[in-house]
Structure 1
Amino acid sequence: MFAVQLTLLDVSAAPPGEAGPSDVQDALWASAGPGDGLEHVRARTVPGGVGLVLYVRASDREAAELRAHALLDRALADGPVGRFAVAAPP
């Protein structure tokens, strides 16, 4: 299992606070399937967005990062968490 750290930045023009860490975490679990290897999620508020650590089961770090990004792309595609975009590691 690998820990993949990411920062999501709020790229919307909407007022802050309409979607936060718990919404992102819920969207990730709702989007996750067995092939994603998601074991655990930690989400917290950081300046300008949400800091994430996704614990992903994979054969190596590169595979874990690819799985995490694919999952995030799906989770951020719709709903209130669509206001976020992946920035960089925190």
Structure 2
Amino acid sequence: MENKPLSIKQQELLQILQVWMSELDINELNEMEPVNLDNPVKEVLSVREVACFLGVSMDTVYAMVKEKQIPYFRVRRRILFDRILINEWCRCKG
């Protein structure tokens, strides 16, 4: 199979992916708790949990955060969500 040279767009995407992967903290990923939306005591949700709750991809949640379409807060580099605010936001949007 012949390797074709990458287009400019593919090269740009590859560079973005390489930067994103270099910023990943493997130790932080290993310490993450599994998603459990059945825990009624949990007040703070992760991007992953909000994506599952809304039935959308994590990319969609990140886009909504970037466009300030959803209530969130940051702790250092982590994007987090208050469960009560997300529920209220869903009721207002619905």
- TM-score normalised to structure 1 length: 0.28
Bigger proportion of residues as strand: 1
Name which structure has the greater RCO, CA cutoff 8 Å, separation 6+: 1
Rg comparison, structure with higher value: 2
Instruction: Give TM-score scaled by structure 2 length.
Output: 0.27
